[in-house]
């Protein structure tokens, strides 16, 4: 880069010489190179370039004055032989060049110091966020085992002794078992969230998108039948295949489909579609459920956030599902959009690129 600037200065000096020398005001174009060097280069390089500019300009004036070089006049004046004017012009030019260099260099020095401080703060924030995520992961993992043990014990008591127990006691144990399931769901989502934020390496394989969606639908068929939901599935005959991490795609489909079922009224309608756009695949899940208020839409992907109407509809929920989905989709290089109207339903659309085994980074 320094060499390029040097060549430009030589070219500008030659151009100036052949277009009037000191008579031509374009000699202030030298300042552009001084400004550019002050922005790009730290240390003494801008000072060296400013000095080179002064030397080149002064040499050209001197050689024209002493007639070593022929003077090409453009205004029919003899400015190049006026000693007083030459000294004044050189003084003004030199002061302008060095002041310009000093101001630009000072500004860039401040900028670099501020940028360094910001970069250091960002690194500390990133590390703090990683520590928080590791804490989530460690805590969730440690909680999982005792909760499983508690649930197993409760389920065992219900299975083996429910006939010998008071009905009220059995109901309380069943309620405790359901609460344990809910706690395990929270722990699972916390683990998944921390896994995606830490970008833990997972196995990559060819994923059959349509098959995976149908598997998730089958897993939630009981809830669909209980609410008598009209589930419309529109998948292309040709299987959509991409390289990726199966667990990540399962997490996306499971969260979006279960949310649609959870917040759709009895005898409602849910539509699931996939489309192949060549380099990209689109998944859309539309329901005619409770919908989302306009002011809540920008917040639904925040961790632990649940809209007020969602809380009224279903008391229990972690507010982590959509945050996890967004993390996975963005890590995969995709986009997620939501369109919703309160009381009329919601549509989630995900557009994600097809990837090969070499460029998957999830």
DSSP string for residues in 238-301 = SPPEEEE-HHHHHHHHHHHHHHHHHTSPTT-EEEEEEEE-SSEEEEEEEE-SS---TTTGGGTT
* Residue 112 confidence class, pLDDT cut points 50, 70, 90: confident
Q: Is there a single domain that holds both residue 168 and residue 300?
A: no
Q: Is there a single domain that holds both residue 173 and residue 210?
A: no
Q: Is there a single domain that holds both residue 343 and residue 272?
A: yes
Structural domain includes residue 258: yes
Tokens standing for 267? Answer: 């005898």
- Range picked from 178-182, 291-295, 329-333 for highest mean pLDDT: 291-295
Residue of 156, 199, 214 lying closest to 180 (CA atoms): 156
Of 200, 221, 247, which one is at a domain's C-terminal end? 200
Say if residue 243's pLDDT is above 70. yes
Q: Is there a single domain that holds both residue 260 and residue 319?
A: yes
Q: Is there a single domain that holds both residue 157 and residue 12?
A: yes
pLDDT digit string, tens, across residues 78-106 = 777 788 888 888 898 899 889 988 888 88
The pLDDT score that the predictor gives to residue 198 is: 55
What is the mean predicted confidence (pLDDT) over 217-231? 89
Structural domain includes residue 360: no
pTM for the predicted model, two decimal places: 0.54
Structural domain includes residue 128: yes
* Residue 231 confidence class, pLDDT cut points 50, 70, 90: very high
Domain interval for residue 161: 1-200
Higher pLDDT, 187 or 58: 58
Residue of 280, 289, 260, 263 lying closest to 272 (CA atoms): 260
Q: Is there a single domain that holds both residue 138 and residue 213?
A: no
Of 200, 217, 243, which one is at a domain's C-terminal end? 200
* Residue 356 confidence class, pLDDT cut points 50, 70, 90: low
Structural domain includes residue 149: yes
Structural domain includes residue 225: yes
Say if residue 133's pLDDT is above 70. no
pLDDT digit string, tens, across residues 40-69 = 888 888 888 899 989 998 998 889 888 888
Structural domain includes residue 361: no
Strands 241-244 and 269-276: unpaired
For the ranges 138-142, 183-187, 288-292, the lowest mean pLDDT is seen at 138-142
Structural domain includes residue 362: no
Say if residue 220's pLDDT is above 60. yes
- CATH number, domain of 227, equals 3.30.565.10
What is the mean predicted confidence (pLDDT) over 330-336? 87
Report how far residue 222's alpha carbon sits from residue 105's, in angstroms, rounded to the nearest whole number. 70
Q: How many domains does the chain have?
A: 2
Of 156, 182, 200, which one is at a domain's C-terminal end? 200
Query: Burial code of 25-55, b = ≥16 C-beta within 10 A, e = fewer?
Result: eebeebbebbbbbbeebeeebbbebbebbbe
Q: Is there a single domain that holds both residue 302 and residue 183?
A: no
Read off the DSSP letter of residue 179. Answer: H
Structural domain includes residue 358: no
Say if residue 362's pLDDT is above 50. no
Give percent of the chain above pLDDT 70.
89
The pLDDT score that the predictor gives to residue 6 is: 84
Report how far residue 254's alpha carbon sits from residue 247's, in angstroms, rounded to the nearest whole number. 10
Q: Is there a single domain that holds both residue 209 and residue 302?
A: yes
Rg (CA), the chain: 35
CB 337 within 8 A of CB 348: yes
- Residue found under tokens 């934020």: 197
Q: Is there a single domain that holds both residue 24 and residue 139?
A: yes
Q: Is there a single domain that holds both residue 34 and residue 101?
A: yes
Q: Is there a single domain that holds both residue 239 and residue 329?
A: yes
Count of CB atoms situated within 10 Å of the CB of 146:
9
The pLDDT score that the predictor gives to residue 201 is: 52
Q: Is there a single domain that holds both residue 177 and residue 316?
A: no
């Amino acid at each position: 880069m320094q060499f390029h600037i040097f060549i430009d200065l030589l070219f500008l000096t030659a151009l100036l010489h052949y277009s009037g020398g000191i008579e031509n005001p374009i000699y202030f174009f030298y300042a552009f190179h001084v400004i550019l060097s002050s922005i790009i280069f730290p240390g003494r390089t801008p000072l060296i370039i400013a000095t080179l500019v002064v030397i080149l300009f002064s040499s050209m004036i001197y050689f024209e004055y002493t007639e070593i070089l022929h003077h090409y006049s453009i205004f029919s004046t003899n400015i190049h032989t006026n000693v007083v004017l030459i000294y004044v012009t050189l003084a003004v030019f030199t002061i302008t060049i060095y002041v310009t260099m000093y101001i630009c260099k000072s500004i860039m020095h401040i900028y670099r110091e501020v940028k360094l401080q910001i970069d250091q703060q960002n690194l500390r924030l990133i590390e703090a966020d990683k520590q928080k995520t590791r804490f989530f992961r460690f805590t969730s993992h440690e909680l999982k085992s005792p909760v499983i043990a508690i649930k197993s014990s409760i389920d065992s008591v219900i299975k083996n002794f429910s006939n010998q127990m008071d009905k009220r006691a059995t109901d309380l144990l069943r309620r405790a078992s359901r609460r344990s399931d809910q706690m395990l769901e929270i722990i699972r989502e916390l683990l998944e969230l921390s896994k995606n934020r830490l970008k833990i390496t997972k196995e990559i394989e060819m994923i059959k998108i349509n098959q995976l969606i149908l598997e998730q639908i089958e897993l939630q068929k009981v809830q669909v039948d209980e609410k008598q939901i009209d589930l419309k599935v529109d998948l292309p005959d040709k299987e959509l295949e991409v390289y990726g991490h199966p667990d990540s795609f399962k997490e996306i489909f499971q969260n979006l489909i279960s949310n649609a079922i959870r917040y759709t009224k009895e005898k409602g309608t849910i539509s699931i579609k996939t489309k192949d756009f060549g380099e990209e695949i689109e998944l859309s899940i539309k329901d005619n459920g409770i919908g989302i208020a306009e002011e809540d839409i920008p917040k639904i992907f925040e961790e632990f956030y649940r809209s007020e109407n969602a809380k009224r509809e279903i008391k229990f929920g972690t507010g982590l599902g959509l945050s996890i989905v967004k993390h996975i989709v963005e890590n995969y290089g995709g986009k997620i959009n939501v369109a919703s109207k309160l009381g009329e339903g919601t549509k989630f659309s995900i557009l994600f690129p097809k990837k090969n085994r070499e460029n998957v980074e999830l």
